[in-house]
Amino acid sequence: MTDGKTATTAGLRPRGRFITLEGGEGAGKSTQARLLADALRARGLDVVQTREPGGSQGAEDIRALLVTGEPGRWDPMTEALLHYAARRDHVRRVIAPALKAGRWVICDRFADSTMAYQGYGHRMGRESIRRLDTLVLNRFRPDLTLILDLPVEEGLARAGRRAEAPGDAGEDRYERMDDGFHARMRAGFHTIAEREPERCALVSAAEDVEAVHAAVLAVVAGRLPLPEPKREAE
Protein backbone atom coordinates (compact mmCIF):
# COMPACT_ATOMS: atom_id res chain seq x y z
CA MET A 1 0.00 0.00 0.00
CA THR A 2 1.42 3.34 -1.03
CA ASP A 3 -0.14 6.79 -1.19
CA GLY A 4 -3.31 5.44 0.40
CA LYS A 5 -3.98 2.93 -2.40
CA THR A 6 -5.30 -0.50 -1.58
CA ALA A 7 -3.98 -3.64 -3.18
CA THR A 8 -7.05 -3.58 -5.42
CA THR A 9 -6.62 -0.02 -6.66
CA ALA A 10 -2.90 -0.54 -7.11
CA GLY A 11 -3.57 -3.55 -9.32
CA LEU A 12 -2.04 -6.06 -6.89
CA ARG A 13 -4.90 -8.42 -6.13
CA PRO A 14 -5.28 -9.99 -9.60
CA ARG A 15 -1.61 -11.00 -9.59
CA GLY A 16 -1.31 -12.75 -6.25
CA ARG A 17 -3.66 -14.46 -3.79
CA PHE A 18 -4.01 -13.62 -0.12
CA ILE A 19 -5.27 -16.36 2.24
CA THR A 20 -5.66 -15.91 5.99
CA LEU A 21 -6.24 -18.43 8.78
CA GLU A 22 -8.22 -17.30 11.81
CA GLY A 23 -9.64 -18.75 15.00
CA GLY A 24 -9.31 -18.84 18.74
CA GLU A 25 -6.47 -20.01 20.94
CA GLY A 26 -5.33 -23.60 20.37
CA ALA A 27 -7.13 -24.02 17.03
CA GLY A 28 -3.92 -24.96 15.20
CA LYS A 29 -3.68 -21.98 12.86
CA SER A 30 0.12 -21.92 12.72
CA THR A 31 0.33 -25.64 11.89
CA GLN A 32 -2.37 -25.40 9.25
CA ALA A 33 -0.80 -22.29 7.71
CA ARG A 34 2.49 -24.16 7.35
CA LEU A 35 0.83 -27.26 5.86
CA LEU A 36 -1.18 -25.15 3.42
CA ALA A 37 1.90 -23.21 2.34
CA ASP A 38 3.75 -26.49 1.74
CA ALA A 39 0.83 -27.90 -0.27
CA LEU A 40 0.67 -24.81 -2.47
CA ARG A 41 4.43 -24.90 -3.05
CA ALA A 42 4.04 -28.53 -4.13
CA ARG A 43 1.78 -27.16 -6.87
CA GLY A 44 4.53 -24.87 -8.10
CA LEU A 45 3.20 -21.69 -6.49
CA ASP A 46 5.50 -19.06 -5.02
CA VAL A 47 4.27 -18.72 -1.43
CA VAL A 48 5.04 -16.30 1.38
CA GLN A 49 4.10 -17.57 4.83
CA THR A 50 3.70 -14.90 7.49
CA ARG A 51 1.87 -14.11 10.74
CA GLU A 52 0.18 -11.46 12.84
CA PRO A 53 0.82 -9.64 14.98
CA GLY A 54 4.19 -9.52 13.30
CA GLY A 55 5.49 -10.43 9.87
CA SER A 56 7.73 -7.38 9.41
CA GLN A 57 10.45 -6.03 11.67
CA GLY A 58 8.36 -3.14 12.98
CA ALA A 59 5.33 -5.37 13.45
CA GLU A 60 7.37 -7.97 15.33
CA ASP A 61 8.53 -5.22 17.72
CA ILE A 62 4.88 -4.33 18.37
CA ARG A 63 3.98 -8.03 18.76
CA ALA A 64 6.04 -8.21 21.95
CA LEU A 65 3.86 -5.47 23.45
CA LEU A 66 0.65 -7.34 22.63
CA VAL A 67 1.25 -11.00 23.43
CA THR A 68 3.28 -10.73 26.65
CA GLY A 69 2.55 -9.29 30.07
CA GLU A 70 -0.61 -9.24 32.12
CA PRO A 71 -4.05 -9.62 30.47
CA GLY A 72 -5.05 -6.11 31.57
CA ARG A 73 -1.87 -4.48 30.28
CA TRP A 74 -3.76 -2.44 27.65
CA ASP A 75 -7.28 -1.15 27.35
CA PRO A 76 -9.25 -2.43 24.31
CA MET A 77 -8.72 0.69 22.18
CA THR A 78 -4.97 0.73 22.80
CA GLU A 79 -4.81 -2.96 21.87
CA ALA A 80 -6.70 -2.36 18.64
CA LEU A 81 -4.47 0.59 17.72
CA LEU A 82 -1.33 -1.45 18.36
CA HIS A 83 -2.65 -4.29 16.20
CA TYR A 84 -3.44 -1.91 13.34
CA ALA A 85 -0.09 -0.14 13.62
CA ALA A 86 1.61 -3.53 13.26
CA ARG A 87 -0.77 -4.53 10.44
CA ARG A 88 -0.13 -1.35 8.46
CA ASP A 89 3.62 -1.98 8.51
CA HIS A 90 3.15 -5.65 7.69
CA VAL A 91 0.93 -4.96 4.68
CA ARG A 92 3.12 -2.18 3.29
CA ARG A 93 6.43 -3.99 3.69
CA VAL A 94 5.55 -7.65 3.15
CA ILE A 95 2.04 -8.50 1.97
CA ALA A 96 1.41 -5.89 -0.72
CA PRO A 97 4.87 -6.27 -2.36
CA ALA A 98 4.45 -10.06 -2.43
CA LEU A 99 1.02 -9.83 -4.06
CA LYS A 100 2.33 -7.32 -6.58
CA ALA A 101 5.08 -9.79 -7.49
CA GLY A 102 2.47 -12.49 -8.13
CA ARG A 103 3.19 -14.47 -4.98
CA TRP A 104 0.59 -16.19 -2.81
CA VAL A 105 0.52 -15.01 0.81
CA ILE A 106 -0.58 -17.29 3.66
CA CYS A 107 -1.05 -15.36 6.90
CA ASP A 108 -1.64 -16.74 10.39
CA ARG A 109 -4.22 -14.14 11.57
CA PHE A 110 -5.19 -10.81 10.02
CA ALA A 111 -7.87 -8.15 10.51
CA ASP A 112 -10.66 -10.58 11.44
CA SER A 113 -8.75 -11.36 14.63
CA THR A 114 -8.96 -7.72 15.69
CA MET A 115 -12.69 -7.70 14.97
CA ALA A 116 -13.19 -10.92 16.96
CA TYR A 117 -10.80 -10.24 19.84
CA GLN A 118 -11.18 -6.50 20.38
CA GLY A 119 -14.52 -5.89 18.67
CA TYR A 120 -16.39 -8.82 20.20
CA GLY A 121 -14.16 -10.22 22.95
CA HIS A 122 -13.41 -6.82 24.50
CA ARG A 123 -16.81 -5.41 23.47
CA MET A 124 -15.45 -2.46 21.47
CA GLY A 125 -18.17 -3.09 18.92
CA ARG A 126 -18.16 -3.90 15.24
CA GLU A 127 -18.50 -0.30 14.05
CA SER A 128 -15.45 0.97 15.96
CA ILE A 129 -13.22 -1.73 14.46
CA ARG A 130 -14.72 -1.26 11.00
CA ARG A 131 -13.90 2.47 11.07
CA LEU A 132 -10.35 1.79 12.19
CA ASP A 133 -9.93 -0.85 9.50
CA THR A 134 -11.17 1.53 6.81
CA LEU A 135 -8.84 4.27 7.99
CA VAL A 136 -5.74 2.06 8.11
CA LEU A 137 -6.32 -0.47 5.30
CA ASN A 138 -8.95 1.22 3.12
CA ARG A 139 -10.96 -1.99 2.59
CA PHE A 140 -7.96 -4.19 1.84
CA ARG A 141 -9.22 -7.77 2.29
CA PRO A 142 -7.95 -11.33 1.88
CA ASP A 143 -9.16 -13.35 -1.08
CA LEU A 144 -10.08 -16.19 1.27
CA THR A 145 -10.29 -16.53 5.06
CA LEU A 146 -10.37 -19.93 6.75
CA ILE A 147 -11.75 -19.74 10.30
CA LEU A 148 -10.67 -22.76 12.33
CA ASP A 149 -13.41 -23.41 14.87
CA LEU A 150 -13.02 -25.19 18.20
CA PRO A 151 -14.98 -25.07 21.48
CA VAL A 152 -13.40 -22.64 23.91
CA GLU A 153 -12.59 -25.23 26.58
CA GLU A 154 -10.86 -27.55 24.12
CA GLY A 155 -8.91 -24.73 22.51
CA LEU A 156 -7.61 -23.40 25.82
CA ALA A 157 -6.72 -26.93 26.95
CA ARG A 158 -4.75 -27.48 23.75
CA ALA A 159 -3.02 -24.14 24.14
CA GLY A 160 -2.12 -25.02 27.72
CA ARG A 161 -0.57 -28.33 26.65
CA ARG A 162 1.31 -26.83 23.73
CA ALA A 163 5.08 -26.79 24.14
CA GLU A 164 6.48 -23.29 23.99
CA ALA A 165 8.05 -22.62 20.62
CA PRO A 166 11.56 -21.12 20.50
CA GLY A 167 11.29 -17.35 20.66
CA ASP A 168 7.65 -17.44 21.74
CA ALA A 169 8.19 -17.97 25.48
CA GLY A 170 5.63 -16.11 27.56
CA GLU A 171 3.39 -15.26 24.59
CA ASP A 172 0.24 -16.31 26.42
CA ARG A 173 -1.37 -13.01 27.35
CA TYR A 174 -4.57 -13.65 25.41
CA GLU A 175 -4.79 -17.26 26.58
CA ARG A 176 -4.96 -15.98 30.17
CA MET A 177 -8.00 -13.80 29.56
CA ASP A 178 -11.26 -14.98 31.14
CA ASP A 179 -13.60 -17.56 29.64
CA GLY A 180 -16.25 -14.94 28.88
CA PHE A 181 -13.79 -13.10 26.64
CA HIS A 182 -12.99 -16.30 24.73
CA ALA A 183 -16.67 -17.20 24.35
CA ARG A 184 -17.49 -13.75 22.93
CA MET A 185 -14.48 -13.96 20.62
CA ARG A 186 -15.56 -17.35 19.25
CA ALA A 187 -19.09 -16.05 18.69
CA GLY A 188 -17.53 -13.07 16.91
CA PHE A 189 -15.71 -15.34 14.46
CA HIS A 190 -19.00 -17.14 13.75
CA THR A 191 -20.68 -13.80 13.06
CA ILE A 192 -17.86 -12.76 10.71
CA ALA A 193 -18.24 -16.03 8.77
CA GLU A 194 -22.02 -15.57 8.55
CA ARG A 195 -21.75 -11.96 7.37
CA GLU A 196 -19.14 -12.64 4.66
CA PRO A 197 -19.71 -16.18 3.33
CA GLU A 198 -18.18 -15.32 -0.05
CA ARG A 199 -14.82 -14.65 1.63
CA CYS A 200 -14.93 -16.77 4.77
CA ALA A 201 -15.21 -20.50 5.40
CA LEU A 202 -15.72 -22.04 8.84
CA VAL A 203 -13.62 -25.22 9.25
CA SER A 204 -13.89 -27.53 12.24
CA ALA A 205 -10.55 -27.83 14.02
CA ALA A 206 -11.75 -30.67 16.26
CA GLU A 207 -10.25 -33.45 14.10
CA ASP A 208 -6.61 -34.50 13.91
CA VAL A 209 -4.05 -32.37 12.07
CA GLU A 210 -4.20 -34.36 8.82
CA ALA A 211 -8.00 -34.29 8.64
CA VAL A 212 -8.12 -30.54 9.27
CA HIS A 213 -5.46 -29.99 6.60
CA ALA A 214 -7.51 -32.03 4.10
CA ALA A 215 -10.57 -29.91 4.89
CA VAL A 216 -8.58 -26.67 4.55
CA LEU A 217 -7.11 -27.73 1.22
CA ALA A 218 -10.54 -28.77 -0.07
CA VAL A 219 -11.94 -25.33 0.73
CA VAL A 220 -9.01 -23.57 -0.95
CA ALA A 221 -9.29 -25.75 -4.07
CA GLY A 222 -13.03 -25.12 -4.18
CA ARG A 223 -12.72 -21.35 -3.90
CA LEU A 224 -9.51 -20.53 -5.80
CA PRO A 225 -8.07 -22.05 -8.99
CA LEU A 226 -5.09 -24.25 -8.12
CA PRO A 227 -2.62 -25.98 -10.44
CA GLU A 228 -2.13 -29.74 -10.09
CA PRO A 229 0.64 -30.90 -7.76
CA LYS A 230 4.01 -31.16 -9.46
CA ARG A 231 5.06 -34.72 -10.26
CA GLU A 232 8.32 -36.10 -9.00
CA ALA A 233 10.87 -36.64 -11.76
CA GLU A 234 11.14 -40.35 -12.54
Instruction: Give the tens place of pLDDT for each residue, 151-160.
Output: 988 888 888 7
29 is in an annotated binding site: yes
Q: Report how far residue 157's alpha carbon sits from residue 153's, in angstroms, rounded to the nearest whole number.
A: 6
Residue 3 has pLDDT above 60, yes or no: no
Query: Average pLDDT, stretch 2-8?
Result: 41
Residue 8 resides in a domain: no
Residue 165 has pLDDT above 80, yes or no: no
54 is in an annotated binding site: no
Domain count, the chain: 1
Residue 7 resides in a domain: no
26 is in an annotated binding site: yes
Question: What pLDDT, on the 0 to 100 scale, is given for residue 227?
Answer: 86
Residue 9 resides in a domain: no
Residue 27 resides in a domain: yes
Residue 8 has pLDDT above 50, yes or no: no
Residue 6 resides in a domain: no
Residue 142 has pLDDT above 60, yes or no: yes
Residue 2 resides in a domain: no
Residue 1 resides in a domain: no
Per-chain mean pLDDT for the chain: 90
pLDDT tens by residue, 69-92: 999 999 999 999 999 999 999 999
4 is in an annotated binding site: no
Residue 63 resides in a domain: yes
25 is in an annotated binding site: yes
Q: Report how far residue 174's alpha carbon sits from residue 202's, in angstroms, rounded to the nearest whole number.
A: 22
Query: Average pLDDT, stretch 14-18?
Result: 78
**Full residue range of the structural domain in which residue 195 is found:** 18-223
56 is in an annotated binding site: no
Report the CATH number that the domain containing residue 168 is assigned in CATH. Answer: 3.40.50.300
